[in-house]
Amino acid sequence: MLALPRWDGEYASTSFSLCKEIAKSHPVFYIDNPFTVKDFLWQYQQPRVKARTAALLFGRNIYHPLNLPGSDLTIVTPRLVAPINWVENDQVYDMLSKLNNKLVSKVLSSIVKDHQLTEYIFINSFNPFYVRSFPANFKPSLFIYHTVDDISEASYVQKHGSRLEKEISQRADFTLVTSLKLKKLKEQDTQKVYYLPNAADTAIFHTALSGDLPMPKDMPLQDQDIVIFTGHLDQRIDVLLLEQIAITYPEKILLLVGPNSLKKEETKRLATYQNIVFTGKKQLEELPGYLQSAKCAIIPFKCNTLTESIYPLKINEYLAAGLPVVSTSFSEDIQAFADLAYISESGKQFIKNIQRAIDEDAADLKARRVEEAGKNTWEHRTSQLYQLIEENLNAKYHEIQKI
């Protein structure tokens, strides 16, 4: 798999989570999103970049086995590529892209040659900027494109992303999408599109139900109900809604656990409320410690073009922890949880649903939430992927036999 997120990036990713699960039963090579020369010059003193220096500059030590228990997962680092995202003209971009493609394609050739691969599957996960053509010796049994977001709405890749994603999805044997909206969008470009939504490491979050995990040091100590959000505070978040929660429930703590990319003025406004607490970024394994004390979990996403293509993996994390969930109605995918979560059509309803969720919580509801989350594990998603792979390999084989 060549993916946009790097394996050791700041945020958990669908791509790497899927690879970790596949690696429990098959050897997996996870190819790092290439570093550009600009990335290297700006970040060369960072430990994760220093560890890659030989591979980035000289193409040496490109393999890094992770040695996870019961897993066969190897990280592969391509050499540095040219930074070309700034180029506006499509023809100039494509010319420079060919040079980058050669550098990344060398890695594909090396993997096949060094490990004597004869049958293998290649997945490009939301990174249509590279491997726009295969080297001569790279002949995967299946080529799968995997899209996890509406690329036309993703500011960091939207400049050339839409046309390149259309190009690569038409080359692929089939395309995987993580939301129902994405399925509709991609079906405009190619015929074989399959819905494979996000999942969660539910076993980790299930530990929050015990209630006896060590209390995080930055956890509010007041004897107040805690309403919690875990995740990235970014452009998807409805800041005005967070303010209304703080104003309506001054006796409750609104706990925001995760990295913050909000505008400075938005963060400053939220920080004026004494009952809003920021913890900053936390590791995935730390989150149950915060969730165990919460009365209600929220997904305060704006309802817009960006969010309507999102399947939020956090819904399964919250449900695995047994928590009642209040969310805006931002996508078809979240609305599918309407029998287990409080899906709100307006800000006013969202505010009311917080207290309702707390008041109505009960043991039988917790059990139902945990049961539903158990259906949305990475193990289950991988099983679904294997079925799609088998069906398409069989279809491809029969096509070849006809020829």
Do residues 312 and 232 lie in contact, with contact meaning Cβ atoms separated by under 8 Å?
Answer: no
Q: What are phi and psi of 312, to 5 degrees?
A: -80, 115
Half-sphere exposure of 213 (CA within 13 A, CB side): 22
Do residues 7 and 32 lie in contact, with contact meaning Cβ atoms separated by under 8 Å?
Answer: yes
Write down all domains in the chain, each with its CATH number in brackets: 2-195 (3.40.50.11010), 202-373 (3.40.50.2000)
Query: What residues contact 123, with CB distance under 8 A and at least 6 apart?
Result: 1, 2, 144, 145, 146
DSSP 3-state assignment of 132? coil
Q: How far apart are CA 273 and CA 246, in angstroms?
A: 7
List, in sequence order, the alpha helices (H) in 172-282.
180-186, 202-206, 239-248, 264-271
The predicted pLDDT at position 393 comes to 95
Is a pLDDT exceeding 70 seen at residue 62? yes
E-assigned strand segments in 164-308:
174-177, 193-195, 226-230, 253-257, 276-280, 296-299
Nearest to 206 by CA among 273, 106, 287, 281: 287
Report the percent of the chain where pLDDT is more than 70.
99
Whole-model pTM: value is 0.91
| Token duo for residue 77 | 């680092």
| Token duo for residue 307 | 């969010």
Interior angle at CA 55, CA 51 and CA 57, nearest 5: 105
The predicted pLDDT at position 403 comes to 65
The pLDDT of 332-341, averaged and rounded, is 95
Is a pLDDT exceeding 90 seen at residue 320? yes
Nearest to 242 by CA among 36, 324, 209, 233: 233
pLDDT tens, 147-181? Answer: 999 998 877 777 899 999 999 999 999 999 999 99
Is a pLDDT exceeding 80 seen at residue 222? no
